[in-house]
Chain A
Amino acid sequence: MPFSCNTVGALVLRYVFLYTRHPVRFVELIFWPLVDLLVWGFLTIYLQKQGPAGLPSTITFLIGGMILWDVLFRSQQGVAISFLEDVWTRNLLNVFVAPVRTIEYVAATCLVGVLRVGVTLIVLTGVAALAYHFHLADLGIVLLPFLANLMLFGWFLGMVSTALIMRWGQAAESLAWAVPFFIQPLAAVFYPVSVLPVWLQPIANSLPCTPIFEGMRAVLAGHPVPWHQLGYAFTLNLVWGALAAWFFAANLRYVRKTGLLVKVATQ
Chain B
Amino acid sequence: MTPILEADRLVKVFGATSALDGLSFTVAPGESLGLLGVNGAGKTTAMNLLLGLTTPTSGTVRIFGLDLWKHRIEILRQINFSSAYTSLPSNLLVWQNLTVFARLYRVPRPKQRIDALIELLDISHLRKAVTGKLSAGESTRVNLAKALLNKPRLLLLDEPTASLDPDIADRVRKLLRHLQAQDGLSILYTSHNMRDIEEVCDRLVFLHGGKVLTEGTPGEVQARFNRTSLEDFFIGVARGEIDAIGLP
Contact = CB atoms under 8 A, between A and B. Distances in A.
Interface of A: 1, 6-7, 9-11, 13-14, 17-18, 21-22, 85-86, 89-91, 93-101, 253, 256-259, 261-262, 265-266
Contacts, number: 104
A249 to B, nearest CB: 13
Q: Taking each of B74, B88, B92, which has the highest tally of chain A beta carbons within 10 Å of its own beta carbon?
A: B92
Given A91-B86, A262-B53, A22 B91 contact: yes
B91 A21 contact: yes
Given A7-B104, A17-B96, A22-B91, A265 B54 contact: no
Contact of A91 (B73, B89, B105): B89
B39 interface: no
Nearest to A253: B55
A14 B86 contact: no
Chain B interface SS verdict (over half): mixed
Q: Taking each of A13, A21, A97, A259, which has the highest tally of chain B beta carbons within 10 Å of its own beta carbon?
A: A97
B193 interface: no
Given A13-B100, A14-B92, A18-B92, A98 B76 contact: yes
B85 A266 contact: yes
Contact of A89 (B55, B90, B96): B90
Interface stretch (B44-52, B180-188, B211-219): B44-52
B77 interface: yes
Interface residues of B, number: 35
Nearest to B106: A6
Contacts of A6: 103, 106
A266 B47 CA distance: 14
Contact of A21 (B76, B93, B104, B146): B93
Interface string B80-98: 1101011111111100100
